[in-house]
Structure 1
Amino acid sequence: MPHNQALAEQEPWWIANYLGRGPHQRYRHHNHAKTQRTVDFFIHHMGLHPRQAILDLCCAFGRHTHELTRRGFHRAIGVDLSPDMLAHAASSAGTDGWRPHFLRADVRALPFHDASADAVLMLRSFGFLDTAEEDLAVLKEAARVARTGALLGMDHFPPNSATTKVGTRVLKGPEATTTVHTTWDPATARLNSRMSTRYEDGRVEPFRSSSRLYTPKDLRAALSEAGFTVHGTFGGYDGSPLTEDSTRCVVIARRA
């Protein structure tokens, strides 16, 4: 086994999966129009304005931080634990002389003062940790750095017949093809995936993921315990209502 692969397998999947150049090759095909629609949604429903200090937690390649900066939100900060993903995010060109701000940090221990953020975003990254207590700690840390009345915008995949569908699928991108085998464990409410990516240069990398899916009711309860009050829920970034069949749960919550 290659030394770097052995090291990666000793790390939690949410660290190991985002090492090196592989993540960029696997995920670089994200649709910029979708990024714009997501930012449009939160600007509208959270009433964001450029003077606000906005934290984009678990920002990955910084797509949303970049888009906010491009629109004049020069106090937006992207936060992530992966140095490789942040290096790619920071290497992207700025707009009109402004470059996005990025910071490497663990979302369970953010290096910000209490009540220092006007708004917090946490997109497609909740439920990754091993226990529900750790997930709650993330929400509590978001509440700590948010000022009273600040809004949190997040999205999550609620468990239903569509989101917990098991089987094998193939994801093809411009530089890599990933085969994903997914299983669902109702006892732990975790969606588990084993994946294998073949890159253009012929190398193959195995990796895995495991995410806890929260029902809207349980997510609301966790947010309440952390210090947030749910302000609105949606079934997608088109503003559709949240239903039992929604494959996405978009939440706007206010810091109490």
Structure 2
Amino acid sequence: MPHNQAVADQEPWWIANYRGRGPHQRYGHHNHAKTHRTVGFFIQHMGLEPGQAILDLCCAFGRHTHEFTRRGFHRAVGVDLSSDMLAHAASSAGTDGQRPRFLRADVRALPFRDASADAVVMLRSFGFLDTSEEDLDVLKEIARVLRPGALLGMDHFPPNSAMAKVGTRILKSPEATTTVHTTWDPATARLNSRMTTRYQDGRVEPFRSSSRLYTPEDLRMALAQAGFTVHETFGGYDGSALCKDSTRCVVIARRT
């Protein structure tokens, strides 16, 4: 087994996959119109206002944090565990003299006071941990830092979205080509992927990932255990209703 594969298999994939410049080469090329639409959606449906303290958890390249800042939310903070991804996020130019704020932290132990945040968004990052108990701990920690009555905005893929990803597919960016082989384990409700990326400079790196996909009802129950009530649900950022065939589950939950 190659050394880098052995190292990657010894630590959580959500740490191993986001080191160095590879993540930006694989994933760092985004549709700015989608980012604009996503942030606008949460501003509208969460009733967010400039001046509020907003946490963008698992912010990765910080594109949503940047967009919040561009729109005048200067107390928005992007939080992620990957120092490499945060370095890239912080190196991006600010808007109108305002640079976004970023902080390295684990979402299970956020360095914020109780009830100090006015809103939290966490997009496409729930279900990464090994157990449902650990996932619940994340929600409880978010509840701790949110003031009572404040809102959490989440974006999650329900299990019926898994079938669209099962099999082998090729993902291309300007700097890399990634082959992804994905399987679905109904017993654990996890989507498991093995990936190989070939970069333009000839480097080849293996990766893996494993995410638990929660049904909307299971997600609602987990939120309730953590101290939230679901305020609204949607099947996408077009505002469509969440239904049994939805391949995306957007949730806005209120801290009780």
In structure 1, distance between residues paired with 2:8 and 2:90: 23
- Map 1:11-160; keep pairs closer than 5 Å: 11-160=11-160
Q: Deviations 1:190-222 (Å, cap 9, x if unpaired)?
A: 000000011111111100000000000000000
**Runs of 4+ with deviation above 6 angstroms:** none
Checking the alignment, whether the CA contact within 8 Å between 2:162 and 2:184 is kept in structure 1 is: no
**Aligned residue for 2:162?**
163
The alignment partner of 1:107 has SS state of coil
The alignment partner of 1:19 has SS state of coil
What is the CA distance between 1:142 and its match in structure 2?
0.2
In structure 2, distance between residues paired with 1:18 and 1:6: 16
1:82 alignment partner AA: S
In structure 1, distance between residues paired with 2:158 and 2:78: 25
**Aligned residue for 1:199?**
199
Checking the alignment, whether the CA contact within 8 Å between 1:80 and 1:104 is kept in structure 2 is: yes
In percent, how many aligned pairs have the same letter? 85
Structure 2 runs not aligned, ≥5 long? none
**Aligned residue for 1:218?**
218
In structure 2, distance between residues paired with 1:147 and 1:23: 34
Alignment TM-score, normalising by the size of structure 1: 0.97
Between 1:21-30 and 1:131-140, the stretch displaced more is: 21-30
What is the CA distance between 1:9 and its match in structure 2?
3.2
Q: Deviations 1:169-197 (Å, cap 9, x if unpaired)?
A: 00111111111000000000000000001
The alignment partner of 1:163 has SS state of helix
Checking the alignment, whether the CA contact within 8 Å between 1:65 and 1:100 is kept in structure 2 is: yes
Q: How many matched pairs?
A: 255
In structure 1, distance between residues paired with 2:90 and 2:38: 21
Alignment TM-score, normalising by the size of structure 2: 0.97
Between 1:2-11 and 1:233-242, the stretch displaced more is: 2-11
The alignment partner of 2:162 has SS state of coil
What is the CA distance between 1:6 and its match in structure 2?
4.3
Checking the alignment, whether the CA contact within 8 Å between 1:143 and 1:255 is kept in structure 2 is: yes
In structure 2, distance between residues paired with 1:7 and 1:196: 15
The alignment partner of 1:135 has SS state of helix
The alignment partner of 1:230 has SS state of strand
What is the CA distance between 1:94 and its match in structure 2?
0.8
Structure 1 runs not aligned, ≥5 long? none
Measured on the aligned residues, the alpha-carbon RMSD in Å equals 1.1
In structure 1, distance between residues paired with 2:4 and 2:149: 45
In structure 1, distance between residues paired with 2:18 and 2:24: 9
Checking the alignment, whether the CA contact within 8 Å between 1:193 and 1:210 is kept in structure 2 is: yes
